[in-house]
Amino acid sequence: MLDFARIQELLSDEEREIQKAARKFLEAEALPQIREWWEAGTFPTQLIPKFGAMGFLGANLPEEYGAAGVSNAAYGLIMYELERIDSGLRSFASVQGALVMYPIFAYGSEEQKREFLPKLAAGEMVGAFGLTEPDGGSDPGGNMKTRAKKDGDHWILNGTKMWITNGTIADIAIVWAKDEEGVIRGFIVPTDTPGFSAPEIKSKMSLRASVTSELVLEDVRIPDSLRLPQAEGLKPPLSCLTQARYGIAWGVLGALEAVFEEARDFALSRKTFGEPIAKKQLVQEKLAWMLAEHTKGLLLVWRLARLKDEGKLHHTQVSLAKRDNTYAALHAARLARDILGANGITLEYHAIRHMLNLESVYTYEGTHDIHTLILGREITGLAAF
C-alpha cells in the first residue's frame, strides 16, 4: 500500500490482515478482467457471492446479522482496495452495505433485520437505494415526488427514481417516498412486486462496470411490514448517505494509489530528450502533488475511522473527507493521464478509466459543490444551498 506517513503502523494486526487479504483476492479475481468488463459495460455479478464470502458487504455491521463486524478502518480499507481496482466495484459494495444494509440495520424492525441482513451480507441478495429523482438529486427533500398512500395495512407507491446503482440487478430496493402528510418514509420494495420496473441506463461514459438504473413504481402495493418503522423525515436517508460517503472517502484513495503508481512507473521508463521523463521537474511536481494528497487524505480517513468507532463522527467531517479526497483522486487521475501522453487515452492503462469513473464519484453522494455548501453552513451557520 502507498503509505508515506506510515499509517499502517497505526492499524491493528487484524486491520492490516484484512487489507492484505482483500488486495490478494481482488488482484486475482478482478484486476485481470476489469478493463474487459468496463469496456463491455457490464458489472461482474459472478463476484457478488465471493464479495459476500470475503466479508466485504456491510463489513462494519454486527456479526449477529451475518456481517463481518470489523472496525471502521478495516471497512474503509476494503473500500480502498475495491476502488483501487475500479470505482464500480466499490460502488456496488457501498450501496449494498451503507445504503441497503445500514438503513435496515438502523431503522428496520428486528424481523426485517433477521430476514434481510444475512442474505445481503452473503451476497445472496442484492439491494439498491432509491433517493434521487429525475428532477434533481441535490435537494432530495424538496424534489421528492414519489408518493406512498396508506391503503389499510398496505401502502401504494408511485413515482420514479433516477441514477440508481444496482437497480436492474437488485432483489430489493430501499425506496424513499412522501406519505399523504408529506413525511418521508422508507420502504423495502421487493423488485418482483407488480408495478415495479428498473430499466438500465445505457451509454454511460463513467462507471461502466456498474449497473445504473431508473426505478419506476406504478401502483406498487407493499405491506406495512416492509416499511422501515424507525424512519421518519429526511434525516434517516441523509444518515445513510453519511455511511456511504465515509466509504467513498477511503475508496477514492485506492484509485489515487493506482494512478500514481502507473504514472510513476511510466515516467521512469519513458525517455524524451535522452532522459526518463521522471527526471524532469514538471513531471516530479505532478507526482509530488499526488503523493501529498494521498498522504493527507489517508491521515484524515484514518482519524475519521477512529472517531466513528467511538461514535463521535459528525456528518460534516465526512463531507469534508468525501469532497477533498474525491477531488484529489480525480485531479490525480487527470495528471496521470497527462504523464502517460497519448498512451493515457487508451484502456491499456488504468488512468483514463479511473478518471472517467471519478467524474461520477465527484457528482454522486452529494456533489463537490453541495459538500462545499455543507461546510459553508457549518462554518458560518448560514445555509447557502
> Rule CB under 6 A: which residues touch ligand FAD?
95, 129-132, 136-138, 163-165, 207, 212, 360, 363-365, 367, 369-370, 385
β-pair partners for 271 = 276
Q: Which long-range contacts (CB under 8 A, 24 or more apart) does 176-181 make?
A: 176/130, 176/131, 176/140, 176/144, 176/146, 176/237, 177/144, 177/146, 177/147, 177/148, 178/144, 178/146, 178/147, 178/148, 179/147, 179/148, 179/149, 179/150, 180/147, 180/149, 180/150
Q: Which of ligand TGC, ligand FAD, none binds 321 (CB below 5-8 Å, type-dependent)?
A: none
Q: Which of 181, 214, 365, 378 is catalytic?
A: 365
- For cell 458487504, what's the residue? 57
Q: Which is nearer to ligand TGC, 91 or 206 (CB)?
A: 91
Note whether 201 binds ligand TGC by CB under 6 A. no
Note whether 132 binds ligand TGC by CB under 6 A. yes
Q: Which of ligand TGC, ligand FAD, none binds 97 (CB below 5-8 Å, type-dependent)?
A: none
Note whether 204 binds ligand TGC by CB under 6 A. no
* Per rule CB under 6 A, count of chain residues that contact ligand TGC: 26
Minimum distance, C-beta of residue 221 to ligand FAD, in the bound complex (Å): 22
Q: Which of ligand FAD, ligand TGC, none binds 267 (CB below 5-8 Å, type-dependent)?
A: none
Binding mask 314-353 vs ligand TGC (x if CB under 6 A, - otherwise)?
-x--------------------------------------
Q: Which is nearer to ligand TGC, 95 or 228 (CB)?
A: 95
Q: Which of ligand FAD, ligand TGC, none binds 41 (CB below 5-8 Å, type-dependent)?
A: none
Note whether 385 binds ligand TGC by CB under 6 A. yes
Note whether 250 binds ligand TGC by CB under 6 A. no
Kind of pairing between the strands at 212-223 and 196-197: antiparallel
CB-closest chain residue to ligand TGC: 91
Catalytic residue check, 365 = yes
Note whether 242 binds ligand TGC by CB under 6 A. yes
Q: Which of ligand TGC, ligand FAD, none binds 212 (CB below 5-8 Å, type-dependent)?
A: ligand FAD
Q: Which of ligand TGC, ligand FAD, none binds 369 (CB below 5-8 Å, type-dependent)?
A: ligand FAD
Minimum distance, C-beta of residue 363 to ligand FAD, in the bound complex (Å): 5
By CB under 6 A, name the one of 138, 193, 197, 343 that touches ligand TGC: 138
347-379 as b/e, with b when 16 or more CB fall inside 10 Å? eebbbbbbbbbbebbbbbbbeeebbebbbeeee
Note whether 146 binds ligand TGC by CB under 6 A. no
Q: Which is nearer to ligand TGC, 89 or 340 (CB)?
A: 89
By CB under 6 A, name the one of 234, 272, 343, 362 that touches ligand TGC: 234
Minimum distance, C-beta of residue 295 to ligand TGC, in the bound complex (Å): 24
Q: Which is nearer to ligand FAD, 31 or 370 (CB)?
A: 370
Q: Which is nearer to ligand FAD, 4 or 385 (CB)?
A: 385
The site for ligand TGC (CB under 6 A) is made up of 91, 94-95, 129, 131-132, 137-141, 165, 234-235, 238-239, 241-242, 244, 315, 364-366, 370, 374, 385
Q: List, by residue number, the catalytic residues.
A: 365
